[in-house]
Amino acid sequence: MTRKMQGTLLFVFCVILVLVSGLCARVIYINATDGERYQKKVLSQQSYGTNTNLPYKRGDILDRNGVVLAQSTKVYNVILDPSIIATDSRYKEPTLQALNEVYGLDVGELERTLEEHAGSSYIRLLRKQSFESMSQYLSLAADNKCIKGVWFEEEYIRSYPFGSLASHVLGYTVAGDVGTWGIEQYYNANLIGTNGREYGYYDSELNLVKVTKEPEDGDTIVSTLDVNVQRLVEQKIKEFCSTWECENIGVIVMNPNDGAIYAMASNEGFNLNAPRDLSLYYSEEEQAAMTQEEQLAALNRMWRNFCISDTYEPGSTFKPFTVAAAMEENLVQESDTFVCNGYRMVAGWRINCNNRSGHGMVTLAESLMKSCNPALMAIGESLGRDAFHLYQEHFGFGNPTGIDLPGESNSILIDLPKLNVTELATSSFGQGFNITMIQLASAFCSLVNGGYYYQPHVVKEIRSANGATVYENDGVVVNMSVSSQTSDFLKDALYMTVESGTAKPAKVAGYLVGGKTGTAQKGVRDKENQKYVVSFIGSVPADNPEVVIYVVIDEIHDEAKKASSSLATSLTSEILSEILPFLGIYPEGEIDYHVDLSLLHPETDMDTIDETNMIDEQGNGAGQNE
């Protein structure tokens, strides 16, 4: 190489040196002029790491024995990331194949999705897929390195393993984990948790700091329900409905000694896993023909909890309360007798007894056993309207019981100023005012348990996600309703009512059952098309009740049987015989219950008692009762 060439090359090197220096200057220039602005841009476009939501798990709902009634299960959304698949041509085919194999997705359609959303990173292909399907896909992906670009997002769904079981009590959830109806609504605040978060931020040194805030799961609710009892009750209701048509049936089974509800059911349940599904009651054509309002009305009817939301006239099941009130006021004694001529004249109205020919002379106990209206009217009269009204409220009628469920109705009593002699007379045997099932059942519990009025409840315990008990309800006494003497008398009298009175069909072999029937006129008094509510409330064992059952059948669509409380009593008997063993109450070998009541006519054959009500001559006056 000549000197000249060497010089030229040195010149070239110098040019390079100058250019490199120029570029260095350029870098300094960029830093100096745009440095701060660009630094801010860098920070502003940061997503601060992965800012992902970690969903909490909604608390489970268990029955009293720990059986899961409602649970939240983790499900997986299938997310497609086309930008990853686009990174290598080998990825597409096996990935789409795997999706097709596991989820049955159409490959052609997936290809179209990939093309349409080529730049995207988040396409939600499927929602709420099972863990099994996900692990199947993941095992495919583990075998084949070319299966890429699909990931799974966690989510929880609410599921009810028993479907429609206890639907009115449990309630359901709607989108966004909002409890709607039932325990889900009433205890929503406990059931929900707090979402966790995974996020990052930049500290003063501009280092990315990652923080994971774990989600806090919701509390577990232990309800007082018993799955077996609830299931059997619902099954019996269904069987009944297949024989008899009626508007409504409500059944409450509860523990009189703490107010815990074992079962609460009506004939119109709904599928908790599909709460808006009307197909249980309407065909597809019928549903299609519905207007939006009709559909809403149908849904509301289906969701309505008859046991706490509907009010009706209780009829004779109220009679023990009239008797109890009079005994508390010391206005009647066990030994008192009443004369029944088949009717009683009240303020010029003739109000009939269920036995038109009259019961003759009846004792206080017999007035319940035979369900004698004139005797009760006499007792009511002796109480007077002030005391009667006071006791009505004292027994919890006229006010919500405060059961831990949404949608409880208030009942409609006759206001004190309007409680005139006629109203007082009919009220004394349970006609003329409205109550809810739960009111009567709770009040009845206090009559047979020694006088302790427990607030009815469906939740006995709340446990936090880590298992600690945060709330416990072993029964809250809100009131002392009657003395133990009154309670003892009523237990005896009610036992006799089942043993040899109007409620004989309620007998369950091997058990001591006490209770009272009711056949109440409903709505407008109408000789031809009178509608009835028949019912039975009872307790087992009669001497020391552990279970109280209340069965109400609203409007039996059968002319012959519409006013026959025997349907309610026999339904009760069927239910009791099945559920009692599940509640740990077993038939006794030898029934030895000595009733110490002075009965005037023990030989009377109660079987012949006509249970149907007759309408008094004056038409739509106060109704009569059995």
What residues make contact with other proteins under the rule CB under 8 A? Answer: 1, 4-6, 8-10, 12-13, 16-17, 19-20, 23-24, 26-28, 30-31, 34-35, 37-39, 41-42, 45-46, 84, 87, 148, 206-208
Q: Which is nearer to other proteins, 27 or 297 (CB)?
A: 27
State how far the Cα of 354 lies from the Cα of 241, in Å rounded to an integer: 27
Q: Which is nearer to other proteins, 42 or 174 (CB)?
A: 42
Supply the minimum distance, in Å, between the C-beta of residue 108 and other proteins. 23
Give kind and range of the element (H or E) at residue 38.
Answer: helix 3-44
**Which pair of structure tokens corresponds to residue 42?**
């860098």
Supply the minimum distance, in Å, between the C-beta of residue 200 and other proteins. 10
Supply the minimum distance, in Å, between the C-beta of residue 90 and other proteins. 12
Q: Which is nearer to other proteins, 47 or 608 (CB)?
A: 47
According to DSSP, residue 448 is labeled H
Q: Which is nearer to other proteins, 6 or 484 (CB)?
A: 6
Task: Report phi then psi at 388, rounded to 5.
Answer: -60, -50
The amino acid at residue 215 is P
Supply the minimum distance, in Å, between the C-beta of residue 174 and other proteins. 36
| CB of 592 closer than 8 Å to CB of 498 | no
Supply the minimum distance, in Å, between the C-beta of residue 205 and other proteins. 9
Give kind and range of the element (H or E) at residue 361.
Answer: strand 360-363
Supply the minimum distance, in Å, between the C-beta of residue 139 and other proteins. 15
Supply the minimum distance, in Å, between the C-beta of residue 280 and other proteins. 49
Q: Which is nearer to other proteins, 40 or 301 (CB)?
A: 40
DSSP 3-state assignment of 585?
coil
DSSP 3-state assignment of 438?
helix
State how far the Cα of 305 lies from the Cα of 167, in Å rounded to an integer: 9
Q: What is the dihedral of CA 601, 603, 605, 611, to 10 degrees?
A: 20
Q: Which is nearer to other proteins, 38 or 131 (CB)?
A: 38
Q: Which is nearer to other proteins, 89 or 608 (CB)?
A: 89
Q: Which is nearer to other proteins, 12 or 107 (CB)?
A: 12
Q: Which is nearer to other proteins, 60 or 81 (CB)?
A: 81
**Which pair of structure tokens corresponds to residue 519?**
């056949």
Of 549, 524, 523, 545, the C-alpha closest to 535 is: 549
Supply the minimum distance, in Å, between the C-beta of residue 113 and other proteins. 19
State how far the Cα of 554 lies from the Cα of 271, in Å rounded to an integer: 23
Measured in whole angstroms, the distance separating CA 353 from the mean position of its chain's CA atoms is 39
Supply the minimum distance, in Å, between the C-beta of residue 129 and other proteins. 21
State how far the Cα of 385 lies from the Cα of 394, in Å rounded to an integer: 14
Taking every pair of Cα atoms in the chain, the longest distance, rounded to a whole number of angstroms, is: 149
DSSP 3-state assignment of 102?
helix
Q: Which is nearer to other proteins, 20 or 211 (CB)?
A: 20
Q: Which is nearer to other proteins, 207 or 292 (CB)?
A: 207
State how far the Cα of 278 lies from the Cα of 507, in Å rounded to an integer: 37
State how far the Cα of 114 lies from the Cα of 510, in Å rounded to an integer: 72
State how far the Cα of 150 lies from the Cα of 96, in Å rounded to an integer: 10
Q: Which is nearer to other proteins, 25 or 476 (CB)?
A: 25
Secondary structure, 3-state, 78-137: EEECHHHHCCCHHHHHHHHHHHHHHHCCCHHHHHHHHHHCCCCCCEEEEEEECHHHHHHH
Of 267, 262, 259, 216, the C-alpha closest to 239 is: 267
Angle at CA of residue 85, ends 83 and 88, nearest 5°? 110
Neighbour-count burial of 59, counting CB atoms closer than 10 A to its CB (0-12 exposed, 13-18 middle, 19+ buried):
buried
Q: Which is nearer to other proteins, 24 or 178 (CB)?
A: 24
Q: Which is nearer to other proteins, 6 or 135 (CB)?
A: 6
State how far the Cα of 400 lies from the Cα of 403, in Å rounded to an integer: 8
- Please list, residue by residue across 267-288, b when 16 or more beta carbons sit within 10 angstroms of its beta carbon and e when fewer do: bbbbbbbebeebeeebeeeeee
State how far the Cα of 232 lies from the Cα of 578, in Å rounded to an integer: 7
Supply the minimum distance, in Å, between the C-beta of residue 46 and other proteins. 6
Supply the minimum distance, in Å, between the C-beta of residue 25 and other proteins. 10
Supply the minimum distance, in Å, between the C-beta of residue 211 and other proteins. 17
Place of tokens 């020919």: 357
Supply the minimum distance, in Å, between the C-beta of residue 5 and other proteins. 6
| CB of 565 closer than 8 Å to CB of 536 | yes
State the DSSP string of 490-512: HHHHHHHHHHHSTTGGG--TTS-
| CB of 402 closer than 8 Å to CB of 454 | no
Task: Report phi then psi at 17, rounded to 5.
Answer: -60, -45
State how far the Cα of 58 lies from the Cα of 173, in Å rounded to an integer: 10
Supply the minimum distance, in Å, between the C-beta of residue 94 and other proteins. 15
Q: Which is nearer to other proteins, 6 or 485 (CB)?
A: 6
Supply the minimum distance, in Å, between the C-beta of residue 147 and other proteins. 11
